[in-house]
Amino acid sequence: MQMTLVFASDHAGRELRWELINHMRPVGVDIIDLGTHTTESVDYPDYAHRLCDELVRNPKYMGVLICGTGIGMSIAANRHPHIRCAVATSPEMARWAREHNDANVLALGARVIDAPMARLILDTFLVACYEAGTPITERHDRRLAKLTPPA
Ligand code: RB5
């Protein structure tokens, strides 16, 4: 199935976002770029919320959020009930975020990783799958269900 990848960043993540979009274009995935498109300082939650709104309309899409550290973006994104956003600073974190947490959004920090590492992390995130259809899945499903706080 054709994959759609939605990108958004603040000013700190703008260049790395371009790097990753250029990295992904030859792969043939559909790309939606939500900005920011200028060098002006912007507020990362605005871009995180914009991307999460796109994913609520299109639950099959995957997202990539980039700010200075990835932390602000992930905090903002994880306030949306349908989002499981993981900051990754290594390919291992990206793989487990998919396999164990079924993360649908990857957060990256442009001030803490370089472009080659970011490309490796993104590739790993996209190739990895949630561990479905095995006895292992049951415990992951149970834990994911518990992410919603009790009423
Ligand atoms: C912007 O200076 C910076 O605070 C932001 O990109 C991000 O790192 C916040 O988590």
For ligand 1, pick from 17, 67, 73, 78 the residue to mutate: most ligand atoms within 8 Å of CB.
Answer: 67
Backbone angles phi, psi at 90, to 5 degrees: -150, 160
- Give 27's DSSP letter: G
Span from the CA of 68 to the centroid of ligand 1 (angstroms): 4
- Which stretch of DSSP H or E encloses residue 48? helix 44-57
CB 47 near ligand 1, within 6 Å: no
**CA-closest residue to ligand 1 atom 5:** 68
Asked about 11 being catalytic, the answer comes back as no
- Rounded Cα–Cα distance for residues 61 and 4 (Å): 5
Compute how many other C-beta atoms are within 10 angstroms of the C-beta atom of residue 151: 3
pTM, to two decimals: 0.96
Does 148 score more than 90 pLDDT?
no
pLDDT tens for 14-45 read 999 999 999 999 998 999 999 999 999 999 99
For residue 130, what are the contacts with CB-CB under 8 A and spacing of at least 6?
Answer: 98, 99, 102, 137, 140
Span from the CA of 67 to the centroid of ligand 1 (angstroms): 5
**Percent of the chain that is helix, strand, coil (3-state, to 5):** 45, 15, 35
pLDDT tens for 110-125 read 999 999 999 999 999 9
Q: Looking at residue 151, what is its pLDDT? A: 80
Number of Cα atoms under 13 Å in the Cβ half of residue 114: 1
Helices assigned H by DSSP within 90-146:
91-99, 115-127, 135-145
Does 134 score more than 80 pLDDT?
no
